[in-house]
């Protein structure tokens, strides 16, 4: 019998015990083998566009921890890069782009989009061939709003004030930008699925900074558009949405976008998470700093999630990406605790 991909079962609404697990940013700087490959690659973007090395780092956490899902190694900002915007990553400063002006939005160059992203599709193809049969391969993109925040500010900011201001002052341009990003991101996900991705995740990391009307217009509607476009081609492929920080908007995000699984950040109370789980699979939501701290903080955090959400469709994960200072022994302890649950 073929080995089962438990993440896919959970996304169909089944309860799997112990729950499947993986970690956001599981290939990253907390791993010495990642840092070693990263050095050989040159820049971070060189690594993203080098299929052999991107495959290598994607597989590292699978080989070390046996996670149930593997996420393509890339970055959400390859999408604006492939649309002709310049992009650099500077050590300790994160991504740097030239801020886009309203009058440049219609000049975004979609012609070479898939040509520029061909190395990513090649990475996905190689990964599906090399991963264990039972490991689910997750492709991803950033949500249009989150990608737009970096395109507009040119770098990360604590509250995305530049993008929010832009959206009020240049509302037509903002809608146009989000529409282009939704269309291209959907095409990007479709190509990843074609290449072998079993699931796709949409990272909406900055959905928590918007008021009600803006949340509807800039988060919900563009993501709903991506879901419609992907489903028109691949109706069976599950889509995980992760509207980090969405708070009271979490429930409507699932119902209004049509996503299959809902990623929860660590601030979502477990009682609320339990209610959200009635609507379908949830993924999350351990505070990544419990994993840094280890010991009782880690054990209690893991136990609380398993006790509350373990009897329903759950993909165990962190509530955001793992941080570079996380000790590997703590990851091992977390995996052991989750896997020893029946």
Q: Residue ranges for the binding site for substrate?
A: 25-29, 75, 150, 205, 320
75 is an active site residue: yes
Minimal distance, residue 159 CB to ligand CP3, in Å: 14
Where residue 326 falls (left for φ over 0; alpha for ψ -120 to 50; beta otherwise) is beta
Near ligand CP3 by CB under 6 A, which window of 89-97, 106-114, 128-136, 285-293? 89-97
- Among all residues, whose Cβ is closest to ligand CP3? 205
Which tokens go with 306?
Answer: 């398993």
Contacts (CB under 6 A) with ligand CP3, residues 202-231: 203, 205
Nearest CA-CA partner of 263 in 49, 85, 24: 24
The mark string for 258-287 relative to ligand CP3 (x by CB under 6 A, - otherwise) is: ------------------------------
298, burial (CB in 10 Å: exposed 0-12, middle 13-18, buried 19+)? buried
29 is an active site residue: yes
Near ligand CP3 by CB under 6 A, which window of 26-34, 96-104, 277-285, 286-294? 26-34
Tell me if 94 contacts ligand CP3 by CB under 6 A: yes
The mark string for 156-195 relative to ligand CP3 (x by CB under 6 A, - otherwise) is: x---------------------------------------
CA dihedral 99, 101, 106, 108 (to 10 degrees): -10
Tell me if 144 contacts ligand CP3 by CB under 6 A: no
Catalytic residue among 25, 164, 191, 254: 25
Catalytic residue among 30, 34, 121, 150: 150
Tell me if 95 contacts ligand CP3 by CB under 6 A: yes
Pairing of strands 239-242, 282-286: unpaired
- Apex 141 CA angle, 239 and 61, nearest 5: 85
Cβ atoms of 101 and 154 closer than 8 Å = no
290 is an active site residue: no
Tell me if 117 contacts ligand CP3 by CB under 6 A: no
Between CA 186 and CA 257 the distance in angstroms is 13
Q: Which of residues 323 and 337 has its CB atom nearest to ligand CP3 in the complex?
A: 323
Helix and strand numbers (H, E) in the chain are 17, 9
Tell me if 124 contacts ligand CP3 by CB under 6 A: no
Between CA 341 and CA 235 the distance in angstroms is 33
Pairing of strands 94-97, 87-90: antiparallel
Residues in contact with ligand CP3 by CB under 6 A are 24-29, 38, 44, 71, 73-77, 89, 94-95, 140, 142, 156, 203, 205, 321
Residues with active-site annotation: 25, 29, 38, 75, 150
């Amino acid at each position: 019998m073929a080995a089962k991909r438990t993440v896919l079962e959970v996304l169909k609404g089944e309860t799997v015990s112990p729950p499947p697990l993986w970690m956001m940013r599981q290939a990253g700087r907390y791993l010495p083998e990642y840092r070693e490959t990263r050095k050989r690659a040159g820049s971070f973007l060189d690594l993203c566009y080098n299929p052999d090395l991107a495959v290598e780092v994607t597989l590292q956490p699978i080989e070390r921890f046996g996670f149930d899902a593997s996420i393509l190694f890339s970055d959400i900002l390859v999408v604006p890069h492939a649309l002709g915007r310049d992009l650099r990553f500077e050590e300790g400063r994160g991504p740097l782009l030239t801020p886009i002006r309203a009058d440049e939005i219609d000049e975004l160059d979609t012609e070479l989009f898939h040509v520029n992203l061909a190395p990513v599709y090649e990475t996905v193809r190689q990964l599906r061939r090399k991963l264990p049969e039972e490991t689910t391969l997750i492709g991803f993109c950033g949500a249009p709003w989150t990608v737009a925040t970096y395109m507009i500010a040119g770098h990360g900011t604590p509250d995305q004030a530049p993008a929010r201001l832009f959206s009020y002052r240049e509302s037509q341009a903002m809608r146009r930008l989000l529409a282009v990003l939704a269309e291209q991101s959907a095409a990007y996900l479709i190509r990843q699925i074609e290449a072998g991705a079993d699931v796709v995740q949409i990272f909406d990391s900055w959905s928590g900074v918007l008021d009600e009307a803006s949340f509807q217009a800039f988060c919900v509607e563009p993501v709903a558009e991506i879901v419609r476009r992907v489903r028109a081609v691949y109706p069976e492929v599950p889509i995980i949405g992760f509207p980090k920080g969405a708070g009271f908007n979490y429930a409507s995000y699932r119902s209004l976008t049509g996503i299959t699984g809902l990623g929860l950040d660590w601030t979502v109370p477990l009682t609320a998470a339990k209610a959200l789980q009635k609507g379908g699979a949830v993924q999350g939501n351990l505070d990544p700093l419990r994993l840094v701290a280890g010991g009782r903080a880690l054990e209690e955090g893991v136990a609380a999630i398993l006790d509350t959400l373990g009897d329903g469709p759950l993909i165990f994960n962190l509530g955001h990406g793992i941080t570079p200072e996380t000790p590997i022994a703590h990851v091992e302890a977390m995996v052991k605790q989750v896997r020893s649950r029946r």
